[in-house]
Structure 1
């Protein structure tokens, strides 16, 4: 059963080494993410799953990096110019064969857990395709919630990337309203509102968090969790929301 969830944005800029001189601009978001991870630790989970959007990797014929990632999987920020590697929780003591690297969203999640010195439970990862339909996300969430008696989720994903003229997706007048509705749903743990997020509109607004949020809604059915908003802003024209459910 799902006992806690933390919702965090997943830009590499959360990592001070990546942000460099701009690092202080995201101090509030970074602190809120660590507070949300602390809520996960306090729930004493048997299993933590980091969930985020997949990404298309060069040389993979356009195939997105989706699917499960086992404990100890490596991620790297070398792709954004920083010589920094992370692992998804501690590397298992038994023989470990490195597989696919973590996608960006899970790499940021692994960095957050390392920053928080996570040691409460095994950690796995799951990346979702951007085009995953809402029903499939909800079903995957329900399956994750049944993996152990006490399951926690670290849900990585940004809101729209169209909030300002200089945003990655340029300005779209619909973006602020979409982000406001999504943030309200995340803040109040409104499962129906999350399930009802428009998949096509989310794609047009470059919302990276839509599929992970809808997985969370599926995982939280019958869990009786309450939500709390820890941070909301749109630096660089991208919607960032941090919330904790417990």
Structure 2
């Protein structure tokens, strides 16, 4: 059973060793993500995670941020041994880093094809929830649009703020239906790869009533970052 869910982005800037100069925006995003992960651990020290990508990683894998400039090593469980995988995908690296920060025992990462439909994402979420035979936390990793304003890594798009606000309202109200209503084509055009992970969350939450403990939208450096914590209503 999924006993709590935490939504976070997965930029490399979360890892202090990878940041050349600390700025308030970076510290704020990092602090919010670590707090959400710690909240997840308070509910369960065993996690499953979903993020954009392909395949599965873990639960006994190790990786390194060497490809992002510094050889910061992470593991996906307390029982991981052996050399780190230099090709571990970024969301799995961040999942491992957050696991270590929050003191979780282990995390298995399910990477979701960014072209999956809302229905396919929801079906995966339902399956993951059904397969959880003990209390687990669900870590949902995904970035919002990278087309916000002049600082955007991608070409600025005037539709990005409204899309991000739609996501934020859905997360703040713990509304699975609103997450499933996100337009996959628009998300793709805006570079919001986190859409698939959020819609997996919607499927995993199906059939139960949830409430949002925290929800925050930050847009540093032209990218939308959502941080939220959901828990089921008794």
Q: TM-score, normalised by structure 1?
A: 0.87
Question: Is the contact made by 2:147 and 2:190 (CA closer than 8 Å) also made in structure 1?
Answer: yes
The list of structure 1 runs, each at least 4 consecutive aligned residues, that deviate by more than 4 angstroms after superposition, is 96-101
SS at match of 1:153: strand
Please list, as runs of the form range in 1=range in 2, the aligned pairs for 1:10-21 lying within 5 A after superposition: 10-21=10-21
Residue 180 of structure 2, aligned match among 195, 208, 215? 195
Mapped pair 1:91 → 2:79: yes
Write the distance in 1 (CA, Å) between the matches of 2:61 and 2:24: 29
Q: Deviations over 1:165-195 (max 9, x none)?
A: 2311121000000000001101111100100
Query: Which residue number corresponds to residue 216 of structure 1?
Result: 201
Query: Which residue number corresponds to residue 62 of structure 2?
Result: 74
Query: Which residue number corresponds to residue 127 of structure 1?
Result: 111
Shift of 1:151: 2.7
Shift of 1:44: 2.8
Write the distance in 2 (CA, Å) between the matches of 1:23 and 1:105: 23
Please list, as runs of the form range in 1=range in 2, the aligned pairs for 1:132-211 lying within 5 A after superposition: 132-147=116-131, 148-211=133-196
Stretches of structure 1 that go unaligned for 5 or more consecutive residues are 55-65
Q: TM-score, normalised by structure 2?
A: 0.91
Q: Deviations over 1:117-144 (max 9, x none)?
A: 223xx42111111111111111110111
Question: Is the contact made by 1:71 and 1:90 (CA closer than 8 Å) also made in structure 2?
Answer: no
Q: Deviations over 1:140-166 (max 9, x none)?
A: 101110122323211111111000123
SS at match of 1:163: coil
SS at match of 1:215: helix
Question: Is the contact made by 1:51 and 1:212 (CA closer than 8 Å) also made in structure 2?
Answer: yes
Shift of 1:231: 2.7
Query: Which residue number corresponds to residue 34 of structure 1?
Result: 34
Indicate how the Cα distance of structure 1 residues 11 and 92 shifts in structure 2: closer, same or farther if over 3 A, else same.
closer
Alpha-carbon RMSD across the aligned residues, in angstroms, is 2.0
Write the distance in 2 (CA, Å) between the matches of 1:100 and 1:129: 21
